[in-house]
Amino acid sequence: MITCAICSGYFIDATTIVECLDTFCKSCIVNYLETSKSCPICDVPLSKIKPHQSLRQDKLKQSLVYKLVPQIFIDEMNRRRQFYNEHNDQQPVSKEDGGQVSVHSCYFRPNDKISMSIEYLDE
């Protein structure tokens, strides 16, 4: 799955809980953990003192989202550039954080071989 169970959107800064391997948008799970100390999907308990230590960036899942839906990457880079243009006192940690990376140089190349299967799930 490439969508966040909290916001129902595609992953942005995919972040995985190491105890259960459920993944969310970074901002979604960080905000959620301000009021809860367990996974929003499976309810596995996290550290009550420092629940954020259970979170890890998931570059592989984020890369998958960007490869399958390149417009998500383009839109996110535009949002990041706009943020740093409006907040001159803030400095990005990396070119990607600052929105200075091209989708073609990073996530999508015309010669990439991608195999994809789409299934209909009757809920």
Within-domain flag for 56? yes
* Radius of gyration of the CA atoms of the chain, in A: 16
CA distances from 66 to 47, 63, 86, 97 (A): 31, 5, 25, 15
The answer on 75 and 55 residing in a single domain is no
- pTM of this structure: 0.74
Strand partners, 56: 16
| Structural domain span for residue 45 | 14-62
Range 3-13 average pLDDT: 96
- Rounded to a whole number, what is the distance in angstroms from the first to the last CA of the chain? 15
If one counts the domains in the chain, the total is: 2
The proportion of the chain whose per-residue pLDDT surpasses 70, expressed as a percent, equals 82
CA distance 34 to 51: 9
State how beta strands 55-57 and 14-17 pair: antiparallel
The answer on 51 and 33 residing in a single domain is yes
The answer on 74 and 58 residing in a single domain is no
Domain CATH number, residue 52: 3.30.40.10
Within-domain flag for 96? yes
The answer on 53 and 81 residing in a single domain is no
Q: Is residue 103's pLDDT more than 90?
A: no
Q: Is residue 93's pLDDT more than 60?
A: no
pLDDT band at 98 (very low <50, low <70, confident <90, very high): low
The answer on 100 and 79 residing in a single domain is yes
CA distances from 15 to 11, 64, 70, 74, 112 (A): 8, 13, 19, 20, 25
For residue range 16-31, list pLDDT tens digits in order: 999 999 999 999 999 9
Within-domain flag for 75? yes
